[in-house]
């Protein structure tokens, strides 16, 4: 059973490695690709046309340049830069957008050279800023280590459960588990991503429980001479084991990316997860009665079991609940690797629900009758450190604040709103002034949207400016009225 459960982890790690190699090969292959067309789609002629001002002719190479086999990647990039520039000069902004999209298809992270390249105009630099470089979708694969902390919710031991003696607990021994992850991230607005993954986790913790004797005047506890714990002579029989759990977690998380650093993308995230327990067992189960010096044969006996399966078997029901719900939070760093990333992630998983199946708490006769153990109610906190690879998929697209359709729609709505306001306005002077301003704004609309589309101004800023302009008129009129009074 164990071997079979480890298989997915190994498979995942291999898959992750293959993807990494493929991606690197892919990137190298793209860079070194040579053109197959003998005239490179008339790129040299196009350059001449550009210098001679025959810009209309340049678009004739566009169809040819779209063919990835037509020439090398570098030359295709050069061709589309030239085509985009030509459209921009001729104010064909829609065509320039499409042409720039072709550039991003070739190199999703393309940035125009702002220093010393005669073909890259400010217009192209502005246009470039209107496109997002964020992937539309990413897949990630990773593996790492984890550590579990157990919170006891209710004590159900076979000895006193109401006492205050510190006789029981989830040991502070550090036992490390392992995890492997495959997941998807979907960029949302404002540097937020939605991520969903499937994490295969081997989680483990150690447990210890000592039975203890209640000391009373009638109890000859002074005879107890345990050598094991001089400080607490009343603890007399200690059970220890290591619990191993194999989980599949499916967390859905909202991630916030911090984009201030070049090449490194720190992020934080939080979400909820469904957790599915596949298998659990207890290993190295042992109870040992404390030896007593009062009588040679007294104490020192022990029980041992190398492994006890505590999830459902043909003979016994599961001692553990097989479904849990958890809160997940974490932080990490993404390191750019070409168009993909390597990442390191630290994740905290807080399971909400009791891990113990209440109906089956006493159902394992070996644990109950031979070792003398009853599970306490408990829940799990887990801390995982994972490293892995992110394969990103890109689709060239405008940033939200430069999207002409969105901004145009917002601008129209703004005008409509102001028109409605004017209808209700009683101050004729103000009405006139606002009407005049609005008319002016209506006339400006196409050119303003075009500026936004070109990247010369942010759509949101342009809208804010226009709103402020209207508000200023309204406020000015109010002030004048106040002055009259």
Number of C-beta neighbours around residue 78 at 10 A: 20
Distance of alpha carbon 108 from alpha carbon 337, whole angstroms: 13
Interface residue with another protein, options 119, 184, 256, 421 (CB under 8 A): 256
Residue 119 contacts another protein per CB under 8 A: no
- Please, which residue, 108 or 299, has the CB nearer to another protein? 299
Note whether 368 binds another protein by CB under 8 A: yes
Binding of another protein at residue 410 (CB under 8 A)?
Answer: no
Which helix (H) or strand (E) is 246 found in, with range? strand 235-257
Nearest approach in angstroms of CB 33 to another protein is 39
Smallest separation (angstroms) from another protein to the CB of 290: 6
Is residue 467 within 8 Å of residue 414, measured between CB atoms? yes
Which residue(s) pair with 325 in the sheet? 274
Instruction: Give min distance, CB of 6 to another protein, in A.
Output: 27
Q: Please tell me the distance from the alpha carbon of residue 353 to that of residue 324, in angstroms, as a whole number.
A: 6
Query: Does 302 help bind another protein (rule: CB under 8 A)?
Result: yes
Q: Are 195 and 259 in contact (CB under 8 A)?
A: no
| HSE-up (13 A, CA, CB side) for residue 7 | 5
First to last CA, the chain: 89
- Answer yes or no whether residue 159 interacts with another protein by CB under 8 A: yes
Q: Based on the shown chain and the rule CB under 8 A, indicate whether residue 377 belongs to the binding site for another protein.
A: yes
Q: Which of 291, 388, 396, 455 binds another protein (CB under 8 A)?
A: 291
Q: Token pair of 206, please?
A: 């150690």
Give min distance, CB of 210 to another protein, in A. 12
Is 329:270 a contact under the CB 8 Å cutoff?
A: yes
The verdict on 321 binding another protein (CB under 8 A) reads: no
Is 158 an interacting residue with respect to another protein (CB under 8 A)? yes
**Residue of 5, 186, 196, 329 interacting with another protein (CB under 8 A):** 329
Q: 15: closest CA among 185, 140, 146, 184?
A: 140
Q: Which residues, in sequence order, are CB contacts of 136 under 8 Å at separation 6+?
A: 186, 187, 393, 394, 395, 397
What is the three-state SS of 83-145? HHHHHHHCCCHHHHHHHHHHHHHHCCCCCCCCCCCCCCCHHHHHHHHCEECCCCEEEEEEEEE
313 is a contact residue toward another protein (CB under 8 A): no
Of 77, 149, 153, 309, the residue at the interface with another protein (CB under 8 A) is 153
Q: What are phi and psi of 20, to 5 degrees?
A: -60, -45
Asked if 371 interacts with another protein (CB under 8 A), we say: yes
**Judged by CB under 8 A, which stretch of 66-74, 174-182, 209-217, 339-347 contacts another protein?**
209-217
20 versus 354: smaller Cβ distance to another protein: 354
The answer for residues whose C-beta is within 8 angstroms of residue 144's C-beta and 6 or more apart is 178, 179, 345, 384, 385, 386, 387, 388
DSSP E strands: which ranges in 394-459? 397-398
Q: Residue ranges of the alpha helices (H) in 157-238?
A: none
292 is an interface residue for another protein by CB under 8 A = yes
Shortest distance (Å) from residue 110 CB to another protein: 25
Per-residue x/- marks for another protein, 462-481, CB under 8 A? --------------------
Based on the shown chain and the rule CB under 8 A, indicate whether residue 252 belongs to the binding site for another protein: no
The Cβ of residue 179 has, within 10 Å, a number of other Cβ atoms equal to 24
CB atoms within 10 A of CB 32: 10
* 407 belongs to the binding site for another protein (CB under 8 A): no
Tell me 221's DSSP state: G
* Eight-class DSSP state of 358: G
Shortest CB 113 distance to another protein, Å: 30
**Does the footprint of another protein cover residue 287 (CB under 8 A)?**
yes
Interaction of residue 190 with another protein, rule CB under 8 A: yes
Q: Is 254 in the site for another protein (CB under 8 A)?
A: yes
Residue 217 CB, shortest distance to another protein, in Å, is 6
What is the contact mask toward another protein in residues 211 to 250, using x (rule: CB under 8 A)?
x-xx-xxxxxx-xx-----------xx-------------
The piece of 65-73, 84-92, 289-297, 387-395 that touches another protein (CB under 8 A) is 289-297
Q: Which residues bind another protein (CB under 8 A)?
A: 153-154, 156, 158-163, 190-192, 211, 213-214, 216-221, 223-224, 236-237, 254, 256, 270, 272, 287-292, 294-295, 297-303, 305, 325, 327, 329, 350, 352-354, 358-363, 365-366, 368-372, 374, 377, 379
């Amino acid at each position: 059973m164990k071997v079979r459960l480890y298989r997915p982890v190994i498979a995942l790690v291999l898959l992750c490695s293959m993807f990494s190699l493929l991606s690197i090969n892919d990137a190298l292959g793209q860079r070194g690709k040579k053109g197959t067309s003998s005239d490179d789609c008339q790129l040299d002629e196009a350059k001449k046309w550009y210098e001679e001002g025959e810009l209309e002719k340049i678009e004739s190479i566009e169809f040819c340049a779209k063919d990835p086999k037509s020439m090398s990647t570098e030359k295709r990039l050069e061709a589309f830069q030239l085509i985009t520039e030509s459209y921009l000069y001729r104010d064909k902004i829609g065509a320039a957008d499409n042409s720039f999209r072709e550039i991003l298809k070739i190199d999703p992270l393309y940035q125009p050279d702002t220093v010393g390249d005669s073909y890259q105009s400010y217009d192209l630099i502005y246009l470039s800023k209107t496109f997002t470089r964020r992937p539309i979708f990413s897949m990630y694969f990773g593996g790492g280590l984890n550590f579990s902390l157990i919170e006891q919710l209710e004590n159900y031991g076979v000895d006193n459960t109401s006492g205050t003696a510190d006789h029981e607990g989830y040991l502070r021994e550090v036992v490390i588990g392992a995890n492997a992850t495959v997941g998807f991230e979907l960029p949302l607005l404002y540097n937020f991503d939605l991520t969903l993954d499937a994490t295969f986790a081997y989680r483990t913790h150690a447990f210890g429980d000592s039975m203890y004797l209640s000391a009373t005047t009638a109890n000859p506890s002074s005879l107890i001479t345990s050598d094991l714990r001089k400080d607490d002579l009343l603890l007399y029989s200690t059970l220890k084991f290591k619990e191993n759990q194999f989980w599949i977690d499916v967390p859905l998380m909202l991630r916030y990316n911090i984009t201030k650093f070049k090449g490194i993308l720190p992020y934080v995230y939080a979400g909820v997860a469904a957790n599915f327990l596949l298998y659990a067992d207890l290993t190295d189960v042992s109870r040992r009665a404390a030896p007593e010096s009062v009588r040679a044969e007294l104490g020192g006996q022990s029980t041992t079991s190398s492994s006890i399966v505590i999830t459902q078997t043909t003979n016994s029901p599961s001692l553990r609940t097989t479904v849990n719900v958890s809160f997940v939070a974490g932080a990490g760093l993404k390191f750019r690797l070409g168009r993909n990333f390597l990442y390191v992630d630290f994740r905290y998983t807080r399971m909400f629900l009791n891990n113990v199946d209440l109906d089956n708490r006493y159902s394992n006769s070996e644990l109950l009758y031979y070792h003398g153990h009853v599970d306490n109610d408990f829940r799990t906190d887990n801390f995982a450190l994972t490293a892995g690879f992110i394969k990103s998929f890109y689709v060239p697209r405008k940033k939200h604040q430069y999207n002409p359709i969105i901004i145009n729609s917002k601008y129209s709505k703004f005008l409509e709103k102001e028109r409605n306001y004017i209808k209700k306005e009683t101050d004729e002077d103000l009405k006139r002034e606002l009407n005049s301003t609005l008319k002016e704004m209506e006339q400006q609309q196409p050119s303003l949207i075009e500026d936004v589309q070109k990247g010369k101004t942010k759509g949101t800023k342009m809208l804010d400016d226009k709103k402020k302009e209207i508000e200023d008129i309204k406020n000015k009129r109010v002030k004048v009225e106040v002055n009259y009074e």
